[in-house]
Amino acid sequence: MTILSLHNVSKRFGALTVTDDVTFDVPRGQALGIIGPNGAGKSTLFNLITGNIRADAGRIDFLGRDVTRDPAMKRVQAGVGRSFQIPQPFEKLTVFENLATAASFGRRLPERAVTAACLDILEQTELMRRANTPAGQLSLLERKRLELARAMATGPQLLLLDEIAGGLTEGECQALVATIRAIHAQGTTIIWIEHVLHALNAVVERLLVLDFGRVIGIGEPAAIMASKEVREIYLGIEI
């Protein structure tokens, strides 16, 4: 079953076409990676899927329903969860309070259920021992974990991760990858934008390549990375 479909979606900022006639499907349960040079339009694609910006043309279906005109809040409640490239926690709130805020925003749950859901996510994201620490005191890896946890707290069926591995050491990156793999193994569909290709390749089953807002390839990661067009874009970068 398809969880998300984009049909001929386009977006312009002034004279700049940032999303150019993008069409693709994501089957439920899949992990899809999105790669492409800086400015290719990757984050814009996420903003279109979450409803943070509106498409100029085309249609977006989520769980079989046309959500193209739905506001962001409605899409969160329908099951679209998202982490941001730059973590945006409430610095003075504790890790638990940050999660509880995200959980009550994303799901209409009674307070006890919110607490249970948050405890589950703290366990999954290895933040339990930091539950009562203000977000502002976390290490970079913990901030990334909190960003992931906040996205999970909204109860997503589709989890969008925006460059969550950036800036981590190799060891930290592997630790975060293990957590994301475990979340995926439990059935959450993931779309992950990432420049750290080996992290991406440890999780995703399919890769989409974006360049100047256009999809220039989508398919099995090894085949995509071997294609001439992709190698040209990444010329000089070790992949």
Ligand X SMILES: Nc1ncnc2c1ncn2[C@@H]1O[C@H](COP(=O)(O)OP(=O)(O)OP(=O)(O)O)[C@@H](O)[C@H]1O
Count each helix (H run) and each strand (E run) in the chain, helices first: 9, 10
Q: Which stretch binds ligand X (CB under 6 A): 33-41, 91-99, 106-114, 139-147?
A: 33-41
Is beta strand 80-82 parallel, antiparallel or unpaired with respect to 158-162? Answer: parallel
40 counts as binding ligand X under rule CB under 6 A:
yes
Cβ proximity to ligand X: between 41 and 87 the closer is 41
Residues contacting residue 27 through CB under 8 Å, at least 6 positions apart: 1, 2, 3, 189
Tokens 């995200």 label which residue?
Answer: 102
For ligand X, the binding residue among 18, 95, 122, 164 (CB under 6 A) is 18
For ligand X, the binding residue among 26, 31, 35, 44 (CB under 6 A) is 44
Residue 163 CA, distance from chain mean position:
8
Q: How far is the CB of 134 from ligand X (least distance, A)?
A: 28
Cα–Cα distance for residue pair 51/162, rounded to 1 Å: 15
Q: How far is the CB of 30 from ligand X (least distance, A)?
A: 21
End-to-end CA, the chain: 32
Cβ proximity to ligand X: between 41 and 217 the closer is 41
Q: How far is the CB of 34 from ligand X (least distance, A)?
A: 9
The neighbour count for residue 6, using CB atoms within 10 Å, is: 22
42 counts as binding ligand X under rule CB under 6 A:
yes
Cβ proximity to ligand X: between 44 and 188 the closer is 44
